[in-house]
Amino acid sequence: MIAKTHSLFDRRIIGPAVIDSFRKLNPVFLLKNPVIFVTEVGAALCTLAVAFRGAGEAPGFIFQIALWLWFTVLFANFAEAMAEGRGKAQADELRKARTRTQASLLQADGSVRIVAAEELRKGDFIVVVAREVIPADGEIVEGAATVDESAITGESAPVIREAGGDRSAVTGGTRVLSDRIKVRVTANPGESFLDRMIGLVEGAHRQRTPNEIALTILLAALTIIFLVVVISLRPFGTYSGVSLTVTVLVALLVCLIPTTIGGLLNAIGIAGIDRMVQKNVLAMSGRAVEAAGDVDVLLLDKTGTITLGDRQASAFIPAPEVTVEDLANAAQLASLADETPEGRSIVVLAKKYGFRGRTISEMPGAVFIPFSAQTRMSGLDFEGRRIRKGAAVAIQGFTGKPIAVEVQDAVSYISLSGGTPLLVADGSNVLGAIHLKDIVKGGLRDRFERFRAMGIKTVMITGDNRLTAAAIAREAGVDDFVAEAKPEDKLTLIRREQTAGHLVAMTGDGTNDAPALAQADVGMAMNTGTQAAKEAGNMVDLDSNPTKLIEVVEIGKQMLITRGALTTFSIANDVAKYFAIIPALLVGVFPVIAPLNIMGLRSPQSAILSAVIFNALIIVALIPLALRGVKFRPLGAAALLRRNLLIYGLGGLIAPFPGIKIVDIIVNALHLV
Amino acid sequence: MNIPGWIQLVLFLGVLCLLTKPVGLLLSRVLDPEGRTPFDPVLKPIERLLYRLLGVDPKAEQTWKQYAFSLFAFSLVGLLFTYAVLRLQHILPLNPQKLGPVPPDLAFNTAVSFSTNTNWQNYAGESTLSYFSQMVGLAFHNFASAAAGIAVAAALVRGIARRSAKTLGSFWADLVRVNLYLLLPICLVLSLVLVSQGVIQNFQPARQAALIEPAGTVATQTIPQGPAASQIAIKMLGTNGGGFFNANAAHPYENPTPFSNFLQMLAIFLIPAGLTYYLGTSVKNRRHGWAVWTAMAVLFLAGVFVCWRAESVGNPRLTALGLDSAGGNMEGKEVRFGIFNSSLFATVTTDASCGAVNAMHDSFTPLGGLVPLFNMQLGEVVFGGVGAGLYGILVFVVLAVFLTGLMVGRTPEYLGKKIEGYDVKVAVLTLLILIFSILGFAAWGAVSRPGLAGLGNKGPHGLSEILYAFSSATGNNGSAFGGLSGNSPWYNVTLGLAMFLGRFFMIVPVLALAGSLGRKKLLPPSEASFPVGGTMFIIILIGTIVIVGALTYLPALALGPIVEHFTMSGSALVY
């Protein structure tokens, strides 16, 4: 795994993050975050006020307010730096793969010239042989090789890459283990997949997502509103004979503007992408992560996503007057040398009937007949017996006799139940049928159930006929299916769902999936897939596990929920801060207002200082939540809303009351004011 | 707080609830250019004639910009027309009192006031305005500005309900149809009923009556006359609030009986309540319409309770001195209406942007007066002004959905429409304008010589008066803390500007929001959709309105009514 899960407070991340939070004090940088920028301006004003203070103001008090305002800004910067730091740590791991390599460039005349990898350009042809690092992203045009892609995927088992088909793409930085391949370079230096990955996990050029932009607008508007409130308070105070100093007004302002969410907003977004990376999914943009939360239709390929890639033998149905053991024996013999997963599963199933797996080499004279497109059968010639297995039509042609009614019934039963029937023949006798079954992956039914509760529709897409598709759909528990689908149908289906207002997610790996991947709102390409697929989608799954789409949706939702929860919390907090600060401002001139000080804060100064300190500390307290995300629960909208509103809305309303009170007690115990 | 009060409160809300659906259904037909109403046989030809006179095609739909431009142009022409009538009333007919021209600043204030549905009155009707000015210059606006408000609400509802649409309906068709099929018929009936209760309707000059008990040198009393009933009906129904007489609904000629009082309060809430039903039917989600209604009703009841309780308890200092008997705070109240009906009226008139009063809000206890003040600062979204209440609360709905919608794990969405950056921008813009105008002008007033000159009281109550004036003007309410003398050039101009900002600078972003929502695709409802009906939504909506309102105005209110309250209850100081 490249994505080592870093513990939340890894020392190697905290150190640089602390330094970064000071570097981020640069106002030009903070301008992008209006709430924190205003806080910084306030901090600067208060710092100046220490020197140019009005009569009767204690410098110690102003100094402490200024200090805590600077802390507020630093804490917000720290949250962002922490989130970035986690990404950087992962980027560093990736950089190790990007060592300086040399490339064997194929010249026009067929000779090979050794050049540095940086000199390769799109369209060049290179040769890579065993134990060499592939110098650039490319597509195999000749040959096949086993490739160690652990630098990218973390998966140590080598994978096979070969020219033509959907597994021809190779990634720069991975290592060829065997054979020799000719590769056409598809990316210029600096634009390679590895470079993009590093950029993404580092969050170097992170763009704000639409939702983040909308939220920033709201936060900026709230900041302006509270600016008006605080600025207008001064003339109102003048009218009432209450003189309000700059320090006090700034303290009130910073307590009211949503610093909590303002300080954590960026961290939440970066952490969202980071969580994807930890799941070995590379989101090409934050926008894609956000879209994942909005998705309400999942388009799932049957093969690989819902079922294990291969069919498995699940039962032997013997012909009349044939024992199941005879059938199992013959079926096993016919499959001994069949290295396909189906063949292996038949051997395994036969073992249950007491037939140990034999190898052809133990059986002198045995000849394996491999599957061919012409015969559409495979089998074994052995001691004069000619054993074959294959589709019903092929076997009928082989035996030259009509198939018994009972066997025909078995064949139609297997088809109806969503399986694939294979017949086994020994010479001219049909011994019976093998039931090959699509094996639905474990736990999917529960997951789809949860998705239904969340209002997400799952649609299975398959090339199988309707009956087979319906049976598997029923077993897997998907909401809908499309049978006899051609690859182009995916695009049509996505367009149709989108026209109806849905947001669609899908996975794909083949070149013919590329248009659909590009059209889908979330298109997750498999890392084993073609370059075209990877470029069309907005996410790449390094583990090439299509089922992961489900986790991607959960992470997207989790990020949105975290953002919403902290926004609500931040705004609800203001109520308590009012109860701390307003009485403190007025009680000097209007002692009768004392009952409003419901927290019983000791003095006006300690009340204001406590509110400011609480306001700063709550940012730090919530950093883990922002980075880790609110725990996701698969519930319907109403239930989720009720739950989160109770925790973050009501909690946000109540929590600061005891919080500020405790800070006030400490402030007084330490005689800070 | 007594039994008759409780019975009347239940009766009031009950009747309002029963009328919501029929009015809503009528609104659905009126606001659909193809809709049929019971009045078609009589009014259809007039409708066609009006379209021909205006030179508009009622079927030609407008984009939000065209809609806003039509509304703005129409209102501006009306404003200038009224200004001209007021300045020239001495040479215009129906002026039996021979009143002179209205001064320029007062004419500006009054023209803005009526064209913005505010009806803030810096003049005394019977001593400043001729019958012609009242009937032609002002009454015309009572209809037109009310219809314009309903039109904007209809445009916003259409924006929410339509999918991928560029247009929001025709302003001209909405304006004409609302006047003809909604306001005129109901007003006709209402004014007849009011006449039956004793509200006057004539064109006679004021009468001189001999005092039964002469007070010093004064032996006669001037009793004003005029066409009051027809004005009162639209003043309430259109949430205008401008009284025919200076004493407004406290005057026995305007509001003679408990029944007329009940009817007038009901008339204020009638169309705003019906509009929530119209919202529910239009977006094909009745539960949502009723949820909005319920949120409004809860806020309304909360206001009534606080105000009623504060007025019932009265001023403890006076009670301690034995000056106030068990009756509560009766200062500035009509004995005919008493504590409950005055508190209820005050709450109703400020929940809506009506501004008619049957008691002097300035004389309420600090908390009793805080209720109308806070109601207006919330943006008058509790049923609210005709149209203005609905579009005001829908802005809050959009914000509430955006704030909490993320917590369901999706981009916030309201009735299948995604709430994006632009929508948030225009929605908060309306809040910002409100806040800038109220707090900005009030802060200026609190420290400027002309602002302070108008005050009738010193101390916290004086601040309340300034805050009330600009909250009322910006909210297009029109009621006042009467201690403030607003008829000075400074107040005439600033209040006029506040009314203008509060009306047209609100409507433009609201229509922009309508346009933006209308253009959006509609996401099909599912388990994952944000629930916009039911208790949860009601709580969220109320929470958003109260918290945003409280956070914005609490500091200013703390220096006004809140300090005043604690001073009254917690010190020996007697006012």
- In this prediction, residue B465 has a pLDDT band, given cuts at 50, 70 and 90, of very high
Question: Quick check: A598 contacting B, CB < 8 Å?
Answer: no
d(CA A578, CA B22): 44
DSSP line for A242-265: ----HHHHHHHHHHHS-HHHHHHH
Chain B residues with beta carbon closer than 8 angstroms to that of A585: 555
CB contact under 8 A, B425 and A236: no
CA end-to-end span of chain A? 53
Max mean pLDDT range (A9-23, A627-641, B66-80): B66-80
Residue A348 pLDDT: 86
ipTM topping 0.85: yes
Which residue in B528, B536, B563 is closest to A454 by CB distance? B528
Residue A224 pLDDT: 95
Chain B residues with beta carbon closer than 8 angstroms to that of A639: none
For chain A, the average pLDDT equals: 85
d(CA B331, CA B311): 10
φ/ψ of residue A529, rounded to 5? -75, -175
Question: Quick check: A289 contacting B, CB < 8 Å?
Answer: no
Residue A512 has pLDDT above 80, yes or no: no
d(CA A305, CA A551): 13
d(CA B290, CA B279): 9
Which of A531, A523, A526 shows the shortest CA–CA distance to A170?
A: A531
Residue in B408, B438, B547 to test binding to A, most A beta-carbons within 10 Å: B408
What is the DSSP-derived secondary structure letter of residue A320?
T
Q: Which residue's structure tokens are 């309900």? A: B161
Residue A293 has pLDDT above 70, yes or no: yes
A137 catalytic? Reply is no
Q: Identify the three-state secondary structure at position A523.
A: strand
Residues in CB range of A207: below 8 A, 6 or more apart: A285, A286, A287
CB contact under 8 A, B523 and A638: no
Which of A137, A148, A274, A301 is flagged as catalytic?
Answer: A301
Question: Quick check: A569 contacting B, CB < 8 Å?
Answer: no
Residue of chain A minimizing CA distance to B536? A642
Residue of chain A minimizing CA distance to B467? A236
Q: Which residue's structure tokens are 């409280």? A: B550
- The strand ranges marked E within A32-172 are 102-106, 112-116, 125-129, 138-142, 144-148, 159-162, 169-170
| CA A38 and chain centroid, separation | 34
Contact A414, A434 (CB under 8 A): no
Which residue in B421, B540, B559 is closest to A586 by CB distance? B559
Weakest mean pLDDT among A464-473, B320-329, B381-390, B513-522: B320-329
d(CA B166, CA A479): 35
Mean pLDDT, residues A149-154: 72
Structure tokens at B90: 């001495």
Closest approach of B485 to chain A, Cα-based (Å): 18
**What's the pLDDT tens digit per position in B257-316?**
999 999 999 999 999 999 999 999 999 999 999 999 999 999 999 999 999 999 998 888
Chain B residues with beta carbon closer than 8 angstroms to that of A632: 409
CB contact under 8 A, A560 and B522: no
Contact B263, B358 (CB under 8 A): no
**What's the pLDDT tens digit per position in B126-174?**
678 888 888 788 888 999 999 999 999 999 999 999 988 999 999 999 9
d(CA A212, CA A370): 59
CB contact under 8 A, B409 and A632: yes
Residue A309 pLDDT: 64
Which residue in B428, B559, B571 is closest to A236 by CB distance? B559
CB contact under 8 A, B420 and A560: no
Residue A567 pLDDT: 93
Closest approach of A206 to chain B, Cα-based (Å): 18
Contact B336, B312 (CB under 8 A): no
Residue A1 has pLDDT above 50, yes or no: no
**What's the pLDDT tens digit per position in A413-449?**
888 777 888 899 988 888 899 998 878 877 788 888 8
CB contact under 8 A, A239 and B571: no
Chain B residues with beta carbon closer than 8 angstroms to that of A556: 409
CB contact under 8 A, B566 and A590: yes
d(CA A493, CA A462): 13
Residue in B163, B370, B407 to test binding to A, most A beta-carbons within 10 Å: B407
**What's the pLDDT tens digit per position in B549-562?**
888 999 999 999 99
Structure pTM? 0.87
Q: Tally C-beta pairs within 8 A across A and B.
A: 214
CB contact under 8 A, B409 and A256: no
d(CA A480, CA A270): 35
Neighbours of B424 (CB within 10 A): 25
Residue A3 has pLDDT above 50, yes or no: no
Contact A305, B422 (CB under 8 A): no
φ/ψ of residue A449, rounded to 5? -60, -45
CA angle B529, B533, B536 (to 5 degrees): 90
Neighbours of B286 (CB within 10 A): 16
Residue B97 has pLDDT above 80, yes or no: no
HSE-CB at A191 with a 13 A cutoff on CA atoms is 10
The residue ranking higher by pLDDT, A255 or A117, is: A255
DSSP lists the bridge partners of residue A662 as none
The residue ranking higher by pLDDT, B303 or B35, is: B303
Which residue in A294, A502, A578 is closest to B410 by CB distance? A294
CB contact under 8 A, B431 and A456: no
Q: Using the CB atoms, write b or e for A562-576: b if 16+ within 10 Å.
A: bbbbbbbbbbbbbbb
Closest approach of B336 to chain A, Cα-based (Å): 36
Question: Quick check: A557 contacting B, CB < 8 Å?
Answer: yes
Mean pLDDT, residues B247-256: 91
Mean pLDDT, residues B42-61: 91
Contact B139, B123 (CB under 8 A): no
Residue of chain B minimizing CA distance to A503? B523
Residue B301 pLDDT: 97
Contact A554, A281 (CB under 8 A): no
**What's the pLDDT tens digit per position in A207-228?**
788 888 999 999 999 999 999 9
CB contact under 8 A, A228 and B436: yes
Which residue in A225, A567, A595 is closest to B432 by CB distance? A225
CB contact under 8 A, B421 and A637: no
Closest approach of A260 to chain B, Cα-based (Å): 14
Q: Which residue's structure tokens are 């003679």? A: B256
CB contact under 8 A, B439 and A574: no
**Distances in whole angstroms, Cα of residue A577 to Cα of each of A113, A137, A403, B81, B166:** 71, 56, 85, 50, 44
- In this prediction, residue A77 has a pLDDT band, given cuts at 50, 70 and 90, of very high
Which of A449, A484, A654 shows the shortest CA–CA distance to A569?
A: A654
Residue in B287, B288, B378, B406 to test binding to A, most A beta-carbons within 10 Å: B406
Residues in CB range of A566: below 8 A, 6 or more apart: A260, A261, A264, A268, A622, A625, A626, A648
Mean pLDDT, residues A343-358: 83
**What's the pLDDT tens digit per position in A239-264?**
999 888 899 999 999 999 999 999 99
Chain B residues with beta carbon closer than 8 angstroms to that of A577: none
For chain B, the average pLDDT equals: 91
Residue B575 pLDDT: 47
Residue A65 has pLDDT above 90, yes or no: yes
CB contact under 8 A, B402 and A218: yes
CB contact under 8 A, A236 and B444: no
Residue in A456, A480, A573, A641 to test binding to B, most B beta-carbons within 10 Å: A641
**What's the pLDDT tens digit per position in B376-393?**
999 999 999 999 999 999
Residue A548 has pLDDT above 50, yes or no: yes
Residue A581 pLDDT: 93
Domain spans, chain B = 20-284, 386-568
Residue B324 pLDDT: 64
CB contact under 8 A, B425 and A592: no
Interface of A with B in 430-489 (CB under 8 A): 452-457
Contact A13, A5 (CB under 8 A): no
Residue A611 has pLDDT above 50, yes or no: yes
Residue of chain B minimizing CA distance to A241? B459
Chain B residues with beta carbon closer than 8 angstroms to that of A561: 406-409
d(CA A434, CA A478): 27
Residue A2 has pLDDT above 50, yes or no: no
Structure tokens at B368: 């009793």
